[in-house]
Amino acid sequence: DGGITQSPKYLFRKEGQNVTLSCEQNLNHDAMYWYRQDPGQGLRLIYYSQIVNDFQKGDIAEGYSVSREKKESFPLTVTSAQKNPTAFYLCASRGRRVGNQPQHFGDGTRLSIL
Amino acid sequence: DAKTTQPPSMDCAEGRAANLPCNHSTISGNEYVYWYRQIHSQGPQYIIHGLKNNETNEMASLIITEDRKSSTLILPHATLRDTAVYYCILFEGKLIFGQGTELSVKP
């Protein structure tokens, strides 16, 4: 089935370590997005990519990095510089760079600091 | 900051229509109104979107006022599985999520 796969569903990290969250889509979508959600809050945009080998910072990019080497993959690295990384991370994709196509979301990765 | 305003919570009886309001008084001419919902610990699910005209799909109906300053999402026959947080979002380049409305469908 077509969709967005995020792995793992739960992730634990020791303080000071970098960790990479996976996001893969087989929808042939050009644009991909990473959001962070804290308890009781809405989603906040971390990074987005409109096309392969290009990406832009969102509203809360500090302490995060991304790459977009393949159309179907948009991994997010949470670095040790991120002061409060415990959160629910959501990946999304969208069919066209412009226009009114909706974003579709994966089921998220919940990151916790040990 | 989110450009929409929604009530924090609403209740609805099972089988009845759920009408979820949203104010977006600063909407610009190019911005679409999108609705998503999120069930606890899952990713947001797309419901419907519109620009000017009312829209209907298999999940819901979207009613947009003529001045486009507010809209209403209608779930015609709410079920217990419709219990979720519903987000009304304006899109122009990116989605900006607010706090949403927590809808509780009760038996």
The pLDDT of residue B105 is above 60: yes
Burial pattern B27-40, b for ≥16 Cβ within 10 A else e, equals beeebbbbbbbbee
B91 and A CB contact within 8 Å: yes
Cα within 13 Å of Cα(A9), Cβ side: 4
User: What's the mean pLDDT when you consider all of chain A?
Assistant: 92
B55 bridge partner residues: B62
The pLDDT of residue A20 is above 80: yes
Task: Tell which of A10, A43, A101 to mutate to test the B interface (max B CBs under 10 Å).
Answer: A43
Query: pLDDT (tens digit, 9 = 90+) per residue, A66-105?
Result: 999 999 999 999 998 888 999 999 999 998 755 578 899 9
Query: pLDDT (tens digit, 9 = 90+) per residue, B24-81?
Result: 998 888 889 999 999 988 999 999 999 998 999 999 999 999 999 999 999 999 999 9
Cβ distance B41 to A105 less than 8 Å, yes or no, reads: no
Chain A residues whose CB is inside 8 A of the B53 CB are none
Contact B71, B63 (CB under 8 A): yes
Query: pLDDT (tens digit, 9 = 90+) per residue, A59-71?
Result: 999 999 999 999 9
* pLDDT score, position B2: 62
Contact A77, A19 (CB under 8 A): yes
Q: Can you list the positions of beta strands (E) in A14-62?
A: 19-25, 31-37, 43-51, 54-57
Chain A residues whose CB is inside 8 A of the B44 CB are 43, 90, 105
The pLDDT of residue A8 is above 80: yes
Q: How far is CA B26 from the centre of its chain?
A: 17
Chain B residues whose CB is inside 8 A of the A44 CB are 97
A60 and B CB contact within 8 Å: no
Residue B75 amino acid letter:
L
A107 and B CB contact within 8 Å: yes
> For chain A, what's the residue count?
114
Is pLDDT larger for residue A113 or for residue A88? Answer: A88
Chain A residues whose CB is inside 8 A of the B46 CB are 102-105
